[in-house]
Structure 1
Amino acid sequence: MKAHRILLSTLILASAVFASWQDMAKGVIDSLGSSKSSTTTSNSTQDDSMVSKALKAALDQGVNSATAQLSKEKGFLNSSVKIPLPSALQTLENTIRKAGGGQYADELIHSMNSAASKSVPKTVDIFKTAITNMSIEDATTILNGSNTATTDYFQSKTQSSLTKAIAPIVQESMKSSQVATYYKAFNDFYQTQGKELVKNSSIQGFAKSFGVDSYLPGNSQESLEEYITAKTIEGLFSYIAKEESAIRTNPQKRTTELLKEVFGK
């Protein structure tokens, strides 16, 4: 159930942020199509190879930029990718802040984003391998596929590896946060012993009186580590998508002759 939940949420989110990649890919086809003077098999093969190389180069550049930025100490504190507390904790966060405990919420949020940044370097080789292994057929499928073709390719090639690589690092990093430890301990206790207790109306009433009834867990087995892992992958995909879009629209981002030739100078 845990893996399914992470995969489902990441697939939905990644589908949106990768939509621009398909536009970029179609731009490659248009650029190549306008420069063709013949349609021989030889030229077609040559063009396909160029498209594949250019697409790989663009993706490679996007990965380099994204991982370099997000692996910085405060890389994930950028507002566009900043990881907030899980929704189940946000009501509790508001209550804590009203009671003067904002420092504790801030420290937890900072530790979550720090854990995400520390995990990013481990993702570089995973992305590079997926890009290197992209065949001409893969590139053609992406270029001619649906609006989710690029998303489907990267999900199939990197999702499992990214989750496996990031989760242990996030888990280790989060050990330094006492609040995270308390949250996990509370969640574990609830799953093993507390479900019947939570059903008690007096407990529910007590929680409601402090505005934290939504914090009481239901059937979810999600932990902070799982949440941060999913959000880290989401942030990476989002940042890479922005970089790829910039290569398509900003000539200054086309730093190699191949990119300039295919995407235009």
Structure 2
Amino acid sequence: MIEILSPSEVAKARVTGALVADILYTLKSRTTVGTNLLDIDRWTKEMILKAGAESCYVDYAPSFGRGPFGHYICTGVNDAVLHGLPHDYQLADGDLLTLDLAVLKDGVAADSAISFVVGESAPPSGVAMIEATERALSAGIAAAVPGARIGDISHAIGSVLGAAGYPVNVEFGGHGIGSTMHQDPHVPNTGRPGRGYELRPGLLLALEPWVMEDTAKLVTDADGWTLRSATGCLTAHSEHTIAITDSGAEILTLPTGTLL
């Protein structure tokens, strides 16, 4: 299903997007060496419920997971890049942490992810990967204009990731979003320009470049959810929800700078 939102629904999406961004901003500010992933999940739950919103993850049970997910946020550490199931783990200095959050408020969802290094011992390769996903995300957003096609976004993202030397996995990528978290169209992280669905105002997309340092192959943890690099290498993931407008893409998941 592909949804085209009305102006009033896009206005609601701005509120949801700001909430998602501010929760991630707050979590990053609280996360230090020794923080437990289960505390991050608990803080997320508290902020979502306080805002009168709903988690998109707790009851999430797609075909590729061992559902329901049962937690409020995805927490990926080092080689865990997607669908990281929070568990009893205390973060160490130099850990590369990915937080991926999707929330539903007033009937409209928003989805965003950030990666950052915990503590002071930042691995140069990890920092480089984070920066590459952020550059790729910016390129994808710049390509998301009315009349462009999904392939134009995918090509823009993949060009940046490929130029940085990273293999690109196309099993998981960006997606449409609206009244539910995951919708069509699928937005692969590489592709051919001029192909696919034509963008039009009112379409919401969650764009999410992610990479693994030396492989494009994923493996699934025994928890049935967490996806890791097959070689154990570092990973990174950046994501924004955007709305297609008459003049281009509007980023909905920018933090307001308010700690919740």
Q: TM-score range by the shorter chain?
A: under 0.3
**Normalization by structure 1: what TM-score?**
0.26
Structure with the larger RCO, 1 or 2 (CA within 8 Å, 6+ apart): 1
**Normalization by structure 2: what TM-score?**
0.27
